[in-house]
Structure 1
């Protein structure tokens, strides 16, 4: 019909009176106006119905239906059955999107009429309101099915998707308590149609304590089902692309067991962040122990810690006393599973560096293997290393300003002479050099032969106006 809305937004809501208004307000603020919102009250027992009623009364674009599904998948399916728009969006009652979301997503879809979906970047929102750095998965636009066969790379509300396709595929699988969005995106991607990307963080995801995301046992059970489906034929998809008819190809990104191991790792790290949970270490055996994978493994652990601890990256190092023991134990177990403790230590070094890259070192930090400090270049002093520390991460500071970051392995205490050598190499100033004794002016080249030095940006922070970070996400957060 000519007067049908162009976009239908399905909002499942169950006991969501505290957050629902913010979700619905973000729709009222959209730059694009031709939409309808179907708010599905899924058996709420709090003030949610009254919140819904107030929006239905003030704007005819809001409609409401009732559901007794007691699940996000069932409630969304109810909303799909009522939708009239060309495109579908699924917005949970505790999330929101930028005012430009619909306009920008529709613009890229308009420029690519053969596409089945458009997606954007996202940011997590912690209970204190702090935002994580943006993230996005550009590989979805390159090989959507091979990506979704292995992991859920897109937030539920970070995309617009073709309604006819969703209806044809039967909507969400209500047998899944979590990962139901991942399962549906995987089915859509199996059709072989194009996905397009908006490289901006337009979707905001609330990292709430009560989310099913935190139910690791349920998530692992559901993820194993979804991954197994991704690596085999799926009879639910009647007309798959020939390349995807029999499932994912290992050469395009690893096996099903490896995909599950990555997901297990993320969940284990999330549990470390929340202070509980345990895993069977053997489930991690399929992770690659090769040197070049150590940083990727550390990135997944880091992301899991962010979610489990409900902390933004800048807060993690300061919370090491609470999360450090469990996560170090996890990494040690990983080395044991591989039969290669050195590979485990490589992961630990990368992880500790990532934590410290976000820290301002206002106070010294002692992690499992790294001591992080500030060193006054005008008055460097010897540094005694605590037991177990074999790496230094230091800001070289002059007049309160960070001049350089140095990182190196150590086997003993770091003397004043060692610090002077580093300062002469990284912060050369005539004023400083003139203040040294004749002996101290010597540059200790011998030290440089044995120290691994790195000079990098002192603080990791996204630049204003930059697009989303091209980071992997291994979690289906539903």
Structure 2
């Protein structure tokens, strides 16, 4: 009787010759050896199949399938159909995980025998090799369904999920061109079972210039479908938890239209970062305009900007000239859509402050409304402010060290006496 592995890893690969070896090597590096990998060659025309053959020959834990799905969802489904493991993992051909990934995730699942999934944090890897700060959505462990009804909080390969449950749920929805992973996690969460969190960034996700051809309009259209499903009954889930049978509860984190507006905001900021503008500001109307939301809105825009411009936080302020104009325009439009320009300006200040928080200001940074500078605390210069600038963000320097940060609103000129 053949032994069934503990984990089946499904790797869809379409013309992935440049990155596939890195993805498969991270499996060979795992501290836990009890896995199988099903590499699905999805209609590749490059050297992908040769690379897969090399791994299959070298290690019996690798198997290959060929598919003509022309979609990650379809390719993953064919992998699921031959998988034998208790747990499933979906690894895309341009991503990878830490060597301790399987060991730590399985250990977490042991502590919660009724859990249907374990998840960990992730980091994006920019083309220059720089890593973004880790992100881990703690709310998924607390209320998985209410979270996934509204947003896709977890990277595809930052999860181990129960295989039999995924099969019962019907796998990925191939009618969705994007957001298909989100749709599946939402169905999984609707069962009301436990999700366990591993509070470490063990999953690495490559942000590449190719992912910039991603189609925001398609993503928005698909997100609208997934969110609408999250806010209603879903006949695809045969045995939902009674609390989730009729969909998400608005009191637990906002309406469907608000959830879609947050998604649209991220995409709009990402588009600004990559130099394209396709999102209609009207789609942002449902964002909450109050003072306490300005920072949240700035955070989401900041994250989209990183991905669109392929920059880590410390690089953003220096690259302002590439995207600052279109981003500022977007935020002004947001103020108009709200009928509250002051609320828009509040978001602008928050965002500029966040960009400068990550910059060492080795050179002065002039953003839309804020000037970021270093000032010699013992011998400050007086400064004529450029037009439109009404905020100063300054590091006070003594003996070449940053001693303090000061921020203030200002008009016209800052004199020595002012410092």
Q: Which residue of 1 aligns with 2:152?
A: 152
The alignment yields a C-alpha RMSD, in angstroms, of 0.9
Which is greater in Rg?
1
Shift of 1:277: 2.0
* In structure 1, distance between residues paired with 2:115 and 2:212: 31
Does the 8 Å contact 1:178/1:213 carry over to 2? Answer: no
Q: Which residue of 1 aligns with 2:334?
A: 334
Relative distance call for 1:80 and 1:140 in structure 2 (3 A) is same
* In structure 1, distance between residues paired with 2:82 and 2:60: 15
Q: Which residue of 2 aligns with 1:416?
A: 416
Q: Which residue of 2 aligns with 1:271?
A: 271
Q: Which residue of 1 aligns with 2:183?
A: 183
Does the 8 Å contact 2:290/2:343 carry over to 1? Answer: yes
Aligned pairs (5 A) from 1:121-132: 121-132=121-132
Which protein has greater RCO, CA pairs closer than 8 Å, 6+ apart? 1
Q: Which residue of 1 aligns with 2:227?
A: 227
Q: Which residue of 2 aligns with 1:302?
A: 302
Q: 1:391-429: per-residue Cα shift (whole Å, max 9, x none)? A: 00000111111111111111231111111xxxxxxxxxx
SS of the aligned residue for 1:342 comes to helix
Does the 8 Å contact 2:212/2:274 carry over to 1? Answer: no
SS of the aligned residue for 1:393 comes to strand
Q: Which residue of 2 aligns with 1:451?
A: none
Q: Which residue of 1 aligns with 2:116?
A: 116
Structure 2 spans left out of the alignment, 5+ residues = none
Q: Which residue of 1 aligns with 2:388?
A: 388
* In structure 2, distance between residues paired with 1:382 and 1:173: 62
Does the 8 Å contact 1:43/1:68 carry over to 2? Answer: yes
* In structure 2, distance between residues paired with 1:212 and 1:5: 37
SS of the aligned residue for 2:136 comes to coil
* In structure 1, distance between residues paired with 2:2 and 2:250: 46
* In structure 2, distance between residues paired with 1:49 and 1:107: 34
* In structure 2, distance between residues paired with 1:244 and 1:292: 29
Q: 1:9-37: per-residue Cα shift (whole Å, max 9, x none)? A: 00000100100000000000001110000
Does the 8 Å contact 2:89/2:157 carry over to 1? Answer: yes
SS of the aligned residue for 2:175 comes to coil
Q: Which residue of 2 aligns with 1:244?
A: 244
Q: 1:214-254: per-residue Cα shift (whole Å, max 9, x none)? A: 21011011000000000001000010000000000000000
1:200 maps to 2:223? no
* In structure 1, distance between residues paired with 2:111 and 2:30: 20
Relative distance call for 1:213 and 1:114 in structure 2 (3 A) is farther
Aligned pairs (5 A) from 1:61-100: 61-100=61-100
TM-score, with structure 2 as normaliser? 0.99
Structure 1 spans left out of the alignment, 5+ residues = 420-478
Aligned pairs (5 A) from 1:365-384: 365-384=365-384
* In structure 2, distance between residues paired with 1:45 and 1:282: 41
Segments of 4+ moved more than 2 angstroms: 211-214
Does the 8 Å contact 1:31/1:103 carry over to 2? Answer: yes
SS of the aligned residue for 1:417 comes to coil
Shift of 1:2: 6.5
Aligned pairs (5 A) from 1:422-433: none
Does the 8 Å contact 2:212/2:308 carry over to 1? Answer: no
* In structure 2, distance between residues paired with 1:126 and 1:38: 27
Does the 8 Å contact 1:178/1:212 carry over to 2? Answer: no
Does the 8 Å contact 1:391/1:409 carry over to 2? Answer: yes
* In structure 2, distance between residues paired with 1:98 and 1:361: 34
